[in-house]
């Protein structure tokens, strides 16, 4: 789709927001904090990006197609969410910086672009491929996650955060990239790892993920061993 440039406004007013994950499976710990974040920051749409080959973690249990189907089922009736499959379609590792650069290329220099992560991901960001270039392409929106420190372990990273952190989300529209916003989102003690373990033990996960996803998991016999 062609990108329209508004010459009177330095930044396009609608923030494009991306949320990457393995989604093995997608759960309420992904969905609910993002809904709150969207409300707080005025996001109209969040693009979910299922990873294909996550570079810094073990391979998913479900296939790419199964994870994509679960993301579709979880979001099909929710207008906030859309899905982008570019990472799934790649055959090489899906480094976030590559994906962000491809979105930046499509959107042009003026569009505000945000990448959403959980607090755990923020704390390990310095291990990501070309992590220090991330803010050259996007803002970072961080959802709170229970069980993780609110501070970095090193002074260097804490200083990096302080340099870029904003407290007023309205600023996200004032430039296309470069800010970090720590959102006040609900603390949900849910992880895909825990869900997989619970399902393996035959435990109930009704409060942890959408029922359509649960039904699909059952029908595919996923996470049983
Ligand atoms: P796993 O347990 O397999 O590592 P996960 O539950 O952490 O998976 P991912 O798909 O790896 O889920 O996470 C994608 C993104 O969602 C990451 O940025 C992660 O920080 C964030 N996230 C996942 N669960 C939560 C949660 N309960 N609260 C806030 N953020 C979360």
Distance 27 CA to ligand 1 centre (A): 9
At 196-220, the pLDDT tens digits run: 999 999 999 999 999 999 999 999 9
Q: Which ligand 1 atom is the nearest neighbour of the CA of 29?
A: 27
Which H, E and C letters describe the chain, residue by residue? CCCCCCCCCCCEEEEEEEEEECCCCCCHHHHHHHHHHHHHHCCCCEEEEECCCCCCCCCCCCCHHHHHHHHHHHHCCCCCEEECCHHHHCCCCCCHHHHHHHHHHHHCCCEEEEEEEEHHHHHCHHHCCCHHHHHHHCEEEEECCCCCCCCCCCHHHHHHHHHHEECCHHHHHCCCCCCEEECCCCCCCCCHHHHHHHHHCCCCCCCCCCHHHHHHHHHHCCCCC
Looking at residues 75-79, what average pLDDT do you find? Answer: 95
pLDDT of 10 reads: 54
pTM for the model stands at 0.93
Question: Closest Cα to atom 18, ligand 1: which residue?
Answer: 117
The full set of domains in the chain, from first to last, is 16-189 (3.40.50.620)
- Residues near ligand 1 (Cβ within 6 A): 21-24, 29-30, 33, 117-118, 120-121, 143, 145, 188, 190-193
């Amino acid at each position: 789709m062609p990108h329209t440039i508004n010459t009177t406004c330095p930044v396009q007013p609608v923030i494009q927001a991306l949320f990457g994950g393995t989604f093995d499976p997608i759960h309420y710990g992904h969905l609910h904090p993002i809904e709150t974040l969207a409300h707080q920051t005025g996001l109209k749409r969040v693009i979910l990006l299922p990873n294909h080959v996550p570079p810094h973690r073990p391979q998913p249990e479900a296939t790419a197609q199964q994870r994509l189907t679960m993301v579709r089922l979880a979001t099909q009736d929710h207008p906030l969410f859309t899905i982008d499959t570019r990472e799934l379609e790649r055959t090489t590792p899906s480094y976030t910086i590559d994906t962000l650069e491809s979105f930046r290329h499509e959107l042009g220099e003026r569009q505000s672009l945000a990448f959403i992560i959980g607090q755990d991901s923020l704390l390990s960001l310095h291990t990501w491929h070309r992590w220090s270039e991330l803010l050259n392409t996007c803002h970072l929106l961080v959802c709170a996650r229970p069980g993780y420190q609110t501070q970095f372990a090193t002074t260097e990273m804490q200083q990096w955060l302080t340099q870029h952190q904003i407290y007023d989300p309205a600023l996200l529209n004032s430039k296309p990239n470069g800010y970090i916003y720590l959102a006040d989102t609900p603390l949900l003690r849910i992880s895909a790892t825990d869900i997989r373990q619970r399902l393996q033990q035959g435990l109930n996960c009704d409060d942890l993920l959408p029922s359509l996803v649960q039904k699909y998991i059952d029908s595919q016999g996923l996470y049983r061993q």
